[in-house]
Structure 1
Amino acid sequence: MDALIANMVTQVKKGDQEAFEGIVDLFKDKIYRHCFRMVGNGHEAEDLAQETFLRAYRNISKYNSEYKFSTWIFRIATNLCIDRLRKKKPDYYLDAEVPGTDGATMYSQLSSEEPLPEEVVTENEEWNELQAEIMKLPEKYRTAILLKYVEDLSLEEISKIMDIPVPTVKTRIHRGREALKKVFQMVVKTR
């Protein structure tokens, strides 16, 4: 897969737009999901994913092939999301009620493989709580947590994406997890 992507990047650098379309096809879903998890809004995530690919295309000549392409493009997406979050407070959450519905949340509008209704309710409640708490984390912890546990990236890849040393990545993941653990221990005690 890495060889295929490297070949596509080489072709893009030579001006082959179809090769870039292939890159977009390979990464569009992952980049969109990452942006969505970072900003919590589908429309903004679409905009950010598109901007990620535009920047990648414009700056493809700056891509250093010593690093994985996925690391490079995730870094672009992460930086765009962080910039967007810094410019405004997030006002959309997965557990926010969708206007014009009878209490439906954005999360409940996502497609699924139709588990039992009680499983969906339980899972939705747990996911909504987790997503809400992740969105409350400071951006540096939120980014590290999402890249590690949602995108399943290595510490080294996260280090490159966030442009921080690996020990700092470990610290941010640890502190983010501890903050989430404290919140959920308090929730369990109050139930």
Structure 2
Amino acid sequence: MDSVTRDLFLAQDGDNEAFTRVMQATEGDVRRFCAWQNLHRDDIDDVVQETFLRAYRGLHTLSYGITCRSWILTIARNTCVDHFRKSGQLRRNTKAIERHVQSHQDDATTTVALEQMIFSLPEVFRDAFVLVRLMGFSYDEVAAILGCPRGTVQSRVARARESLMLSAGNEQVSKVS
């Protein structure tokens, strides 16, 4: 059991400082995941805060065998879905993609184009691809986060990669996969 997961179980036993350490250790992952969910920059802070509030309130639901990162990102994913549902936005909103691309005009053209292609992937492929290839989670961790079998995650990552290769060409995709 890693130290962050250990802190999560200490927090479950009432150690508030342990939960603060969990937040500090996982906030970057939660922010990156939210950014890849096509959230507007102003909404990311709200969703991150709501994720940790839900995690704190849900400490009693923890069971052994789960890793902290998987548990927190499952909550983040559900919080993002709820945010889009409440706001009436679609995840793959074209205007949001255009805003994102425009906000990165100083970046290299290929990077922006690749980001836009990733945003245009179907949600199930994008989530698996981002978590495995861009955030470095194992297939087993992603299976726990997405609530599906490991083989399904592998298939989704492969399909996302194939789609990106068709859209961008092998050189650009090999940089992130």
SS in 1 for 2:37: helix
C-alpha separation between the residues in 2 aligned to 1:18 and 1:175? 42
Partner deviation per Cα, 1:18-67 (whole Å, 9 max, x = no partner) = 22111111111221111112224222222111111111100011112211
Decide whether the 8 Å contact of 1:36 with 1:42 is kept in 2: yes
After superposition, the Cα gap between the structure-2 partners of 1:134 and 1:43, relative to the gap in structure 1 and judged at 3 Å, is same
Tell me: CA distance 1:174–1:97, structure 2 relative to 1, closer, same or farther (3 Å): closer
Please say if 1:183 is aligned against 2:164.
no
Matched, 1:25 2:29: no
Q: Per the alignment, in what secondary structure is the counterpart of residue 5 of structure 1?
A: helix
Change (3 A) 1:45 1:74: same
* Contact 1:6/1:65 (8 A) holds in 2: no
* Higher Cα radius of gyration: 1
For normalisation by structure 1, the TM-score amounts to 0.77
Match of 1:168 among 144, 147, 152: 152
Q: Secondary structure at the match of 1:144?
A: helix
SS in 1 for 2:108: helix
Runs of 4+ in 1 over 6 A off after TM superposition: none
Structure 2 counterpart SS, 1:171: helix
Q: State the match for 2:141 in structure 1.
A: 157
Alignment of 1:88-127 (within 5 A): 88-89=89-90, 90=93, 91-93=95-97, 96=99, 105-107=102-104, 124-127=108-111
Percent of aligned pairs sharing the same letter: 28
**2-structure distance, mates of 1:25, 1:85:** 25
Partners of 1:8 and 1:36 in 2: CA distance:
26
- For this pair of structures, how many residues does the alignment match? 165
Partner AA of 2:111 in structure 1: W
| Paired residues for 1:56-95 under 5 Å | 56-85=55-84, 87-89=88-90, 90=93, 91-93=95-97
Asked whether the equivalents of residues 134 and 142 of structure 1 are also in contact (C-alpha less than 8 Å), the reply is: yes
CA distance in 2, matches of 1:85, 1:179: 25
Query: Structure 1 residues 169 and 27, CA, compared in 2 at 3 Å: closer, same or farther?
Result: same
Q: CA deviation at 1:84?
A: 3.6
Q: Give the residue type in structure 2 aligned to 1:170.
A: Q
Secondary structure of residue in 2 paired with 1:92: helix
Change (3 A) 1:40 1:126: farther
Alignment partner of 1:36 is 2:35: yes
The corresponding residue for 1:11 is 10
Assess if the C-alpha contact under 8 Å between 1:82 and 1:139 holds in 2: no
Q: The residue matched to 1:96 in structure 2 has which SS?
A: helix
Once residues 38 and 8 of structure 2 are traced to their aligned partners in structure 1, the CA distance between those partners, rounded to angstroms, is 28
Query: What is the deviation of 1:171?
Result: 1.2
Letter in 1 for 2:119: M
Q: How far off its partner does 1:148 sit?
A: 0.8
Secondary structure at the aligned position of 1:39 is classed as coil
- Tell whether 2:147 aligns with 1:147: no
Aligned-residue offset at 1:75? 1.1
How does the TM-score come out when normalised to structure 2?
Answer: 0.82
